[in-house]
Each structure stands twice: as C-alpha cells, then as structure tokens.
Amino acid sequence: MPTSALPSVSSLEHSSKAIENSSTPAEIARLFEWFYHHKDDNQYLTFIWKTMADCSTGLKRIPDAIPAGARIVHKTGTGFPSAEGLQDMNDAGIILMPDGSHAIIAVFTKQSPSEAVIADIARQLLNK
C-alpha cells in the first residue's frame, strides 16, 4: 500500500472512523454460528479458531461469566476512550459447555465504565 493511501494519525484518533469497520451483535452471532460449524474446513479457519481460543484479552468480559467447566473462543473489541474515561467495549464468543453443547453470545456496549458491565450482561443472558 503506498504511503499516501495510509490514514493520517489524526484520523485514527477519531472514533467516528471506527464505523468503517463495524458490525452488530446479531451479525457477529450469525457469523460465529457459521464459524462454529466450519472451524475445521481448512487450515485458515482452524488457525483463527485456535487464535481466538487462546485469546488473553478481555478476561474480565464474557470469560468471567461462563459456567464452571466451560471454555470460550472469543474476540474482543475496544474503542477510543472518551475524555471522561469511558470506552465502547465489545466481546463476542462461542461458549463450549461441559455437556458438549455450545452457546453464541455477543455483547456490545457504548461508553462503558468497565469490562465488568459486559460480564454482568453476559451472566444475565446465560442465566435465562
């Protein structure tokens, strides 16, 4: 990519640019359901699965809410902090339950004060 095509540093500092690379929780959940069924189709999908299974970010988000004995394959996202210290925070994952079933969950927050908000929402969804 030519240097002239790279975004300027100032454009990267504005959260409005994030809209160019965005999704919705419903779209991500649909993608993750497809991914769960196709994770072994080729080496690239298997690599992505392993990378997401080894994710070490966002451990206080959905991973903090999953049932004992369950595992999670997930992807986090974090927006730009506001002047007040609030951030858009997301987490979406495939929870592999101890009984062999799975659950797909996607939690997107706007201007959240902490990762615990995602964990609290995930707990509520998983306890339904």
Inside any domain, residue 94:
yes
CATH code for the domain of 113? 3.40.710.10
Cβ partners under 8 Å of residue 105, min gap 6: 29, 62, 92, 93, 95, 122, 125, 126
The model's pTM is 0.81
Inside any domain, residue 90:
yes
Inside any domain, residue 81:
yes
- Structural domains in the chain (count): 1
In total, the chain counts a number of residues equal to 128
Cβ partners under 8 Å of residue 118, min gap 6: 58, 61, 62, 89, 90, 91, 107, 109, 112
AA letter at 38: H
Per-residue pLDDT of the chain (128 residues), as tens digits, is 344 444 444 444 555 555 567 889 999 999 999 999 999 999 999 999 999 999 999 999 999 999 999 999 999 999 888 899 899 999 999 999 999 999 999 999 999 999 999 999 999 999 86
| Domain limits for position 102 | 24-126
Inside any domain, residue 12:
no
Give the closest residue to 88 by CA, choosing from 8, 39, 19, 9. Answer: 19
Inside any domain, residue 77:
yes
Tokens of residue 2, six digits: 């030519």
